[in-house]
């Protein structure tokens, strides 16, 4: 994991003053780093019977789709409102500075689907918790949450309640 951590670019005051942004694009651009990232995110769930992997828009898509391929599973996009072309379920959630929403197709999962939720970063956990609720709304058995970076000092994983989560890198 040290090789992945070394590729992460830390950008102070982005997107606003006081925020330290962890830029994963150098990892995505490095063929060996990207392969290592996908393997490390998928490996803990190889024997979990995952049938679908859900990714949260937008950076989560870049890791969720290849994790789905590694697990031999389908991919489910969880998107911001108005981006999916078919009937959707919507989940509103609270942010530090307002509210937001996520949507999923009503037919994204079938009975018995075990879904792994994947994202690049978990901070306060609001988006991840909303995605879990949205997946459960459409009937998914949420088998876990795999994330590249956890900002542990924000305690976002606590919002996932009963969902097992696996973080590759933790920043305290």
Instruction: Tell me whether residue 59 is one of the annotated catalytic residues.
Output: yes
Per-residue pLDDT tens digits for 103-149: 999 999 998 899 999 999 999 999 999 999 999 999 999 999 999 99
CATH code for the domain defined by 48-171: 3.40.50.2020
The reported pLDDT for the residue numbered 156 is: 92
Share of the chain above pLDDT 70, in %: 99
Q: Mean pLDDT across the chain, nearest whole number?
A: 95
End-to-end Cα separation, the chain, in angstroms: 16
How far is Cα of residue 142 from the mean position of the Cα atoms in its chain? 12
Q: Tell me the domain boundaries of the chain.
A: 48-171
Q: Which of 9, 90, 96, 103 is catalytic?
A: 96
Q: Environment class of residue 15 by beta-carbon count within 10 Å: exposed (0-12), middle (13-18) or buried (19+)?
A: exposed
**Which of 9, 57, 59, 114 does the annotation list as catalytic?**
59
Q: Could you confirm whether 150 is annotated as catalytic?
A: no
């Amino acid at each position: 994991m040290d090789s992945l951590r070394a590729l992460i670019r830390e950008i102070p005051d982005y997107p606003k003053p006081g925020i330290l942004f962890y830029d994963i694009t150098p990892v995505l651009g490095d063929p060996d780093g990207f392969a290592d990232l996908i393997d490390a995110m998928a490996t803990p769930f190889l024997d979990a019977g995952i049938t679908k992997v859900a990714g949260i828009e937008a950076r989560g898509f870049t890791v969720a789709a290849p994790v789905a391929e590694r697990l031999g599973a389908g991919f489910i996009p969880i998107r911001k409102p108005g981006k999916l072309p078919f009937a959707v379920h919507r989940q509103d959630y609270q942010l530090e500075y307002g509210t937001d929403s996520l949507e999923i197709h009503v037919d994204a999962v079938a009975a018995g689907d075990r879904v792994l939720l994947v994202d690049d970063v978990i901070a306060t956990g609001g988006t991840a918790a909303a995605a879990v609720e949205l997946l459960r709304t459409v009937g998914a058995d949420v088998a876990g949450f795999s994330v590249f970076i956890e900002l542990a000092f924000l305690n976002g994983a606590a919002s996932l309640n009963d969902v097992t989560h696996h973080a590759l890198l933790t920043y305290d």
